Structure 1
Amino acid sequence: MAVSTTLSKRIKRRAPRAFLRRTFKQKKPHLRLETDCDLLIHLNCLLFVHRLAEESRINACESKSRVITNDHILAAAKVILKKSRG
């Protein structure tokens, strides 16, 4: 029963929309953003973190390490950023 309650709590969590909007306005006040663009940016960040975790895990397994270290994460970040540039 604990697993199902944990899962339902995760589903009910929402994106930090107010924080994202406030940050955009502070950093780039001249941008005119659509209403749901903050959700798309949040989704993009989550996908990046997910890819980073997967690639870091693969790097750790290749180096026969059980623990993901900073070196694994940095190597994965370089690969992912190169792929995302196009």
Structure 2
Amino acid sequence: MIPRATVKKIIKSHQNKALSKNVDIMIYLECILFLKRLAERANEASGSGIIQQRHILAVLEKVLQEFKGQ
């Protein structure tokens, strides 16, 4: 788990505008949900319990599109 201060620092370095108080938590949760969905889809693509890089790459674009649509 990444410390909250680190997440805030990363967000601040990419965004100069003022953001709401807990936006860092929302961004962190979205990242966790993205990684979880990516792992689930890669696991389905692998057909076994072992996920390899090629499985991740095979489903990455589709998962990115799903998250862009939200």
- TM-score class, shorter-chain normalisation, is 0.7 to 0.9
CA distance 1:33–1:70, shift in 2 (3 Å): same
Taking structure 2 as the reference length, the TM-score comes to 0.83
Taking CA–CA contacts closer than 8 Å with sequence separation of 6 or more, which of the two structures ends up with the larger relative contact order? 2
Letter in 2 for 1:38: D
Taking structure 1 as the reference length, the TM-score comes to 0.70
Q: How does 1:59-78 map to 2 (within 5 A)?
A: 59-61=45-47, 65-78=48-61
User: Looking at CA atoms only, which structure, 1 or 2, has the larger radius of gyration?
Assistant: 1
Structure 1: runs of 5+ lacking an equivalent:
1-13
> Does structure 1 residue 46 correspond to structure 2 residue 29?
no
Two-structure CA RMSD over aligned residues (Å): 1.7
**Which among 13, 23, 35 is matched to residue 26 of structure 1?**
13
CA distance 1:44–1:66, shift in 2 (3 Å): closer
Identical amino acids, percent of aligned pairs: 33
4+ residue stretches of structure 1 with deviation over 4 A?
none
Count of aligned pairs:
69
Partners of 1:81 and 1:21 in 2: CA distance: 23
Structure 2: runs of 5+ lacking an equivalent:
none
